[in-house]
């Protein structure tokens, strides 16, 4: 039983299909006919049985989990998350231009409708918030995150295809040219060029090229790179527009904790374990014998947990070993360079000594020759 199966979300389309069929039970007898034809007669009872066998476990699992998560976060907060999901979808629709285009993109991505996608967004928010309450964050983790933390900053850039053009633009900036104007007129990044090259507020999680981000991070507010920065996209001239200073550990703690929790939510093993604990805590009992296994893909047994813990420990040990090996390699390389440098210095000293000896010998010879001439 894999973790991916434990975290798999059932499509809302299946939920809708089964729910619709379930609703029809109240208005149709079990032997009522729902479809007829030449040699064809499908009763409502047959339809219900097929739907239950095919979608019953998955649908019941989804219904149970959603109610449990709502109970964990509270109904008022659940409504807020639902509204947040709606707002996010409306923002996406605006970015795509219209709902028809957006729906087309959703369909190609496997969603059945806007409502389908919106519910998935809501469900993920709901589950994440319910699970987040049980994620532990240590003081050591916060301190490490703080030490590595670089506050978001605002940058602009000009992207061109070749280094010569980039150097020419830098020369123009040195002569007092306006960065935004040069970006609008020359940058091949048309999306940012219309805004004077501005990329807005960015941080380490913005997905920027590592070389680009490192070069930007080194700039002081108001500075621009005096040499072109090359990436796979071309050559950049980067300008630091705003660079806030990092606050104290106390000031940054809440934000850092949120970031750490968000990172931990990507750990499928951790999330699966917490979801299992939450489900066990709520003591869910399934009375329908045909659907007794609906939560088997969610609740982790002690045996499975032991296996997962073992895998996690092995992965951690492998990671630590790799880090140690990397550190040892770097140390060896450093020692080799130091040894090479020392050998070069010794060789240079030897050459200098030899040269000094030769010069002394030559001088002594010349002095002896001069003295001999004087005596004669």
> In whole numbers, what is the pLDDT of the chain averaged over residues?
83
Looking up tokens 């045996």 gives 303
Do residues 208 and 189 touch, judged by C-beta distance below 8 A? no
How far apart (Å, rounded) are the C-alpha atoms in residues 43 and 35? 7
C-alpha 238: how far from its chain's center?
A: 24
Is residue 7 over pLDDT 50? no
- pTM for this entry: 0.62
pLDDT the model gives residue 326: 66
Pick the range with the lowest mean pLDDT from 32-36, 118-122, 225-229, 306-310. 306-310
Which residues have CB under 8 Å from 31's CB, separation 6+?
A: 43, 44, 45
pLDDT value of residue 313 = 72
Is the confidence at residue 112, as pLDDT, over 80? yes
Residue 328 has pLDDT above 90, yes or no: no
The whole-angstrom separation of Cα 216 and Cα 191 is 19
- Contact, 118 vs 103, CB < 8 A? no
Q: Given its phi and psi angles, is residue 373 left (phi above 0), alpha (psi -120 to 50 degrees) or beta?
A: alpha
What the block records as the tokens of 115 is 């409502």
Domains, the chain, ordered by start: 3-137+252-318 (no CATH), 150-242 (3.10.50.40)
| H/E element, 155 | strand 153-160
Query: Could you tell me the maximum CA-CA distance found in the chain, to the nearest angstrom?
Result: 143
Residue 21 is predicted with a pLDDT of 44
Mean pLDDT within 132-142: 96
**In 252-275, which positions are buried (b, 16+ CB within 10 angstroms) versus exposed (e)?**
bbeebeebbbeebbeeebbbbbbb
| pLDDT at site 66 | 95
For the segment 273-320, what is each residue's pLDDT rounded down to a tens digit? 999 999 999 999 999 999 999 999 899 887 777 776 677 677 667 767
């Amino acid at each position: 039983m894999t973790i991916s199966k434990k975290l798999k979300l059932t499509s809302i389309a299946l939920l809708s299909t089964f729910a619709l069929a379930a609703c029809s039970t109240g208005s149709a007898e079990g032997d009522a006919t729902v479809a007829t034809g030449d040699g064809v007669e499908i009763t409502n009872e047959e339809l219900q049985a097929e739907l239950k066998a095919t979608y019953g476990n998955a649908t019941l699992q989804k219904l149970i989990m959603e109610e449990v998560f709502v109970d964990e976060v509270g109904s008022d907060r659940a409504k807020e998350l639902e509204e947040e999901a709606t707002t996010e979808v409306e923002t996406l629709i605006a970015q795509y231009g219209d709902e028809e285009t957006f729906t087309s993109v959703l369909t190609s991505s496997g969603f059945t409708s806007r409502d389908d996608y919106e519910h998935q967004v809501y469900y993920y928010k709901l589950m994440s918030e319910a699970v987040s309450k049980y994620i532990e964050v240590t003081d050591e983790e916060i301190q490490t995150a703080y030490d590595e933390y670089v506050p978001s900053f605002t940058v602009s850039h000009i992207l061109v295809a070749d280094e010569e053009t980039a150097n020419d633009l830098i020369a123009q900036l040195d002569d007092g040219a306006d960065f935004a104007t040069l970006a609008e007129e020359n940058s091949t990044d048309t999306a940012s060029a219309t805004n004077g090259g501005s990329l807005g507020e960015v941080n380490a999680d913005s997905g920027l090229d590592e070389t680009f981000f490192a070069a930007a991070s080194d700039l002081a507010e108001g500075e621009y790179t005096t040499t072109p920065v090359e990436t796979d996209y071309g050559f950049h001239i980067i300008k630091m527009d705003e660079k806030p200073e990092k606050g104290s550990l106390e000031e940054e703690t809440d934000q850092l904790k949120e970031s750490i929790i968000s990172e931990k939510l990507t750990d499928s093993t951790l999330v699966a374990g917490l979801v299992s604990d939450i489900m066990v805590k709520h003591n869910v009992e399934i009375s329908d014998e045909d659907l007794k296994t609906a939560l088997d893909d969610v609740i982790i047994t002690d045996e499975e947990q032991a296996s997962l813990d073992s895998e996690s420990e092995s992965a951690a040990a492998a990671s630590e070993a790799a880090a140690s090996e990397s550190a040892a390699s770097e140390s060896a390389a450093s020692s080799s360079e130091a040894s090479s440098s020392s050998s070069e210095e010794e060789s240079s000293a030897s050459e200098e000594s030899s040269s000094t000896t030769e010069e002394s010998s030559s001088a002594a010879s010349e002095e002896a020759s001069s003295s001999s001439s004087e005596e004669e």
